[in-house]
Amino acid sequence: MCLGIPGRIVALVDEEAMLASVDVSGVRRTVDVVCVAEPGRPLAELIGAWVLVHVGFAMSVIDEEEAAATLKVLTEIGEAEGEIEAMRSGSVEPFHPSPALRAS
């Protein structure tokens, strides 16, 4: 993926590794949620949240209106389908740093 694309967190995949399943227009992918997780808060609170996904990472939490508007613009400029296809084909996988790197 080249652009950030909105998706909704639908499940936790691995809490320790901070991985969640995100639905982007019907395509589900595992993404790293380390950038949107709030220290001291349960990761499960992210389920249902809309996030902007880029190269296997949930980069920021966005609201549903912003998600819909972003998807609309990406569709209008012809970029949404390419991003969704990249997710569908599995051409982008999240980076999984070692636990030692996460602690630093």
Select the CATH number that applies to the domain covering 5-93 from these four: 3.40.50.720, 3.40.640.10, 2.30.30.140, 1.10.760.10. 2.30.30.140
Please give the model's pTM, rounded to 2 decimal places. 0.74
What is the full per-residue pLDDT of the chain (104 aa) written as tens digits? 456 889 999 999 999 999 999 998 888 999 999 999 999 999 999 999 999 998 899 999 999 999 998 888 878 777 666 666 766 666 444 444 545 444 54
How far is residue 91 from each of residues 15, 61, 88, measured CA to CA in Å?
Answer: 23, 23, 8
User: Which sequence spans correspond to the domains of the chain?
Assistant: 5-93
Q: How many CB atoms lie within 10 A of CB 69?
A: 13
